Amino acid sequence: MAEIQTGEFSRYRSNLIDMHADMKVWLWDCGPEEPVLPEAPELPPGKDGDPKYDLAKIVFKRQLKAYEAALEAYERDTVAYGKWYRDNGGPVEQLFWSVDARDALQHDAKAVKDGRQKKLRWWLSSRTRGHEKLKNLGLPNGMRPGHGQEANLERQIAGEKEFANALRSDPVFGQETRP
């Protein structure tokens, strides 16, 4: 058995090293959308003592509580949005396993379709095996990687160097020394 396609990104192979590499998917995280201020509820028209007005006041109080909760969420989202853009400055690549990447892309597309988002947040990177020919590294037209991407790559290179050094100094897997 040489190769069988098992999913959008992965396939079964007789070589476990290639199978492991096939399961890695790089996605661009283009960041969260800027939060939108919620709309305040309108005061109901009427006079105290009128049953319809009293009922409308009860509904208004419920709407006011929901509005206050939405304002708190807006404040949290604004802080998170600002932090993400300060830290990353634009799109950054994230490593996913194939099943998680599929889920992220599907949920993102559903959020756009349902109107919970205006645009897609996750994009398939050209760094993903088999997708090397994607234009603009897989980013949407006009977008460029943020400064956080450069920092990610520097950390990745430093980690690989550290691992290589540890492997070389390992008594079992490192360089053999003969007496």
Q: CA 160 → CA 155, 157, 165, 166, distances in Å? A: 9, 5, 9, 10
pTM for this prediction: 0.74
pLDDT band at 165 (very low <50, low <70, confident <90, very high): confident
pLDDT band, residue 1 (cuts 50/70/90):
very low
16 within some domain: no
Whether 179 has a pLDDT exceeding 60, the answer reads: no
Residue 32 lies in a domain: yes
Task: Please state the rounded mean pLDDT for residues 6-11.
Answer: 60
Report the pLDDT value the prediction gives residue 3, as an integer from 0 to 100.
Answer: 58
Q: Is residue 173 part of a domain?
A: no
pLDDT for 46: 85
Does residue 177 register a pLDDT over 60? no
Q: Is 106 within the bounds of a domain?
A: yes
Q: What is the mean pLDDT of the chain?
A: 88
Count up the domains in the chain and report the number: 1
Question: How confident is the model over 104-131, as a mean pLDDT?
Answer: 95
Domain presence at residue 108: yes
Supply the range of the domain harboring residue 122: 24-144
CA separation for the pair 97, 15 (Å, rounded): 18
Instruction: Tell me the C-alpha to C-alpha distance, in Å, between residue 106 and each of 8, 100, 101, 120.
Output: 12, 10, 8, 10
Q: Assess if residue 156 is contained within a domain.
A: no
> Which range is least confidently modeled, 81-85, 121-125, 137-141, 174-178?
174-178
